Amino acid sequence: MAHSDRRECETMSKQGNDNVDDAFTARRMQKLLDENRDLKQYVAEIMKRLQENDALFSKLFELESLVLAATDAEDLCFTLLRHLRSSFDLDMVRLWFDRSSFMGQCQLSGLSEQDLVWVEKGEIEKVGLASRHVWLLRLDKERNFPWLEARDSHLSSLALLVLGDLSRPFGVLALGSLDAGRFAPDQSGDFLQHLTQIIGLTLENAIVRERLARLSLTDSLTGTHNRRFFQPHSHQPLSQWFGRDTQVACLYFDIDDFKVVTDSLDSTEGDELLVHISQVVQQCIREQDVMIRMDGHAFTLFLQGCSIDKAEEIANRMVKACASIDRYDERIGISVGLAFSAADADKVVKVLVSEADQAMYVAKALGGSRVEIAAVDA
């Protein structure tokens, strides 16, 4: 081969190698660019999730703070329902409570049927929820939850939070969404698990606090209020307790010859007598009337918005009802003093009680088993 031909071949070979190297370099650069783009996208997604989680935990912390600050079980439920709807963008929030659990003893009358539904004993276990605390469900015509109603037909996914120990759950909190992916079964339930524990424990603690507070203000024998309940109100004007422009009648009654009656009874029967009389009296008054065991066998009643004539009628009914008790050998009687505060009088609570107490002693002095009315201010 001629020298010139050899040089031409070498030149062409070198150019070919250079072209291969350039193509390889271009492919490698493109791969690096693609990897860099994917990495940036991955980092952006991670940052977005971190920001979402940070916002979620901020909302959770706020919810925990509000729940822990609730004053009682009803306030706690109100706070929970309202805050979950507004802050977590939920289309349905509802509580199902077991009526036979300790929740059945709570005053939750302020919650609507849309917010709270009572279920009977064993229903939580019956629908199969008692095996774990968090359930995530995708809803459709074939797969639904039996407790849902026609008003819930728009929901596409549901989270069910089982409250309390799984051996004896006391309720279920439902979170519903129009988004089918919001509570998809394959999602992590760690956040909801934490929320379940917080809500369950806080509700149980609220009930315990409420029960202890109620016990401290309740007479352990008769179940009426006690002097500890009365004491904070005693120095207040009546309007501060019962509201402005409200007439209030006060009845103060004591069991006549209680020592004579109980001398023939043992201590258990004496206690039974007190309980019996308090029950008889409560049947004569209205549900909203306040009854307090002051000490021993003396009680006071506050009849809010009651006229003096109506109060006298109630007092006479009490005397008659107690006189008809025939369970004991001795005659049973009560002496009742009645004091009245007109709407514009606004007496101090302890003053009204003192007037009723003095009238009661007059009734005793006149033979007992009767009603005496304290002088009404002109």
Question: Residue 118's domain is classified under what CATH number?
Answer: 3.30.450.40
Is there a single domain that holds both residue 175 and residue 236? no
**pLDDT tens by residue, 124-170:** 999 999 999 999 999 987 678 899 988 898 999 999 999 999 999 99
Residue 68: pLDDT over 80: no
Residue 252: pLDDT over 90: yes
Q: Are 372 and 254 contacting, i.e. CB atoms less than 8 angstroms apart?
A: no
Q: Reduced to 3 states, what is the DSSP secondary structure of residue 188?
A: coil
pLDDT on residue 378: 52
Is there a single domain that holds both residue 118 and residue 183? yes
- The angle, 0 to 180 degrees and rounded to 10, between the axes of the packed helices 73-87 and 3-68 is 150
Give Cβ neighbours of residue 133 (< 8 Å, ≥ 6 apart). 161, 162, 166, 193, 196, 197
Is there a single domain that holds both residue 192 and residue 86? yes
Is there a single domain that holds both residue 291 and residue 363? yes
Residue where a domain terminates, one of 156, 191, 216: 216
Report the distance separating Cα 235 and Cα 165, nearest Å: 45
CB 241: neighbour CB atoms within 10 A?
Answer: 16
Where does the chain show beta strands of DSSP type E? 92-98, 116-119, 134-138, 157-163, 171-177, 248-255, 290-295, 298-304, 334-341, 371-373
**pLDDT tens by residue, 192-212:** 888 888 888 888 877 877 777
pLDDT on residue 77: 85
Per the rule left: phi > 0, alpha: psi between -120 and 50, beta: everything else, 235 is: alpha
**pLDDT tens by residue, 349-373:** 999 999 999 999 999 999 999 999 9
- Residue predicted with more confidence, 148 or 52: 148
Tell me how far the alpha carbon of residue 327 is from its chain's centroid: 41
Mean pLDDT throughout 208-232?
Answer: 83
Using CA atoms, how far residue 326 sits from 99, 318, 323, in Å, is: 38, 15, 8
Is there a single domain that holds both residue 77 and residue 205? yes
Report the distance separating Cα 90 and Cα 84, nearest Å: 7
Is there a single domain that holds both residue 243 and residue 333? yes
Mean pLDDT throughout 337-355?
Answer: 94
Q: Are 163 and 170 contacting, i.e. CB atoms less than 8 angstroms apart?
A: yes
Report the distance separating Cα 64 and Cα 195, nearest Å: 8
Q: Reduced to 3 states, what is the DSSP secondary structure of residue 174?
A: strand
Residue 2 DSSP symbol: -
Q: β-strand 157-163 against 171-177: which pairing, if any?
A: antiparallel
- Residue predicted with more confidence, 41 or 351: 351
> Highest mean pLDDT: which of 49-53, 227-231, 247-251?
247-251
Residue where a domain terminates, one of 163, 193, 216: 216
Residue 123: pLDDT over 90: yes
For residue 179, what are the domain limits? Answer: 70-216
Q: Are 162 and 129 contacting, i.e. CB atoms less than 8 angstroms apart?
A: yes
pLDDT on residue 202: 82
Is there a single domain that holds both residue 211 and residue 238? no
Give the closest residue to 147 by CA, choosing from 131, 165, 135, 164.
135
pLDDT on residue 87: 81
Residue 52: pLDDT over 60: no
In the predicted model, what is the mean pLDDT of the chain? Answer: 84
- Residue predicted with more confidence, 295 or 240: 240
Tokens of 376: 């009404």
Give the H or E element holding residue 308. helix 308-323
Question: Per the structure, how many domains does the chain have?
Answer: 2
Q: Which of 80-84, 241-245, 281-285 has the lowest mean pLDDT?
A: 80-84
CATH number of 297's domain:
3.30.70.270
pLDDT on residue 248: 95
Place of tokens 């422009």: 245
Report the distance separating Cα 195 and Cα 342, nearest Å: 52
Residue where a domain terminates, one of 166, 191, 216: 216
Grade residue 20 by pLDDT with cuts at 50, 70 and 90.
low
> Highest mean pLDDT: which of 23-32, 48-57, 297-306?
297-306
Mean pLDDT throughout 36-50?
Answer: 65
Tell me the one-letter amino acid at 280.
V
Is there a single domain that holds both residue 337 and residue 361? yes
Alpha carbon distance, N-terminus to C-terminus of the chain = 144
Helices vs. strands in the chain: H and E counts, helices first: 10, 10
Spell 248-286 as b/e; 16+ CB within 10 A means b. bbbbbbbbbbbeebbeeeeeeebeebbebbbebbbebbe
Q: Are 106 and 74 contacting, i.e. CB atoms less than 8 angstroms apart?
A: yes
Is there a single domain that holds both residue 339 and residue 358? yes
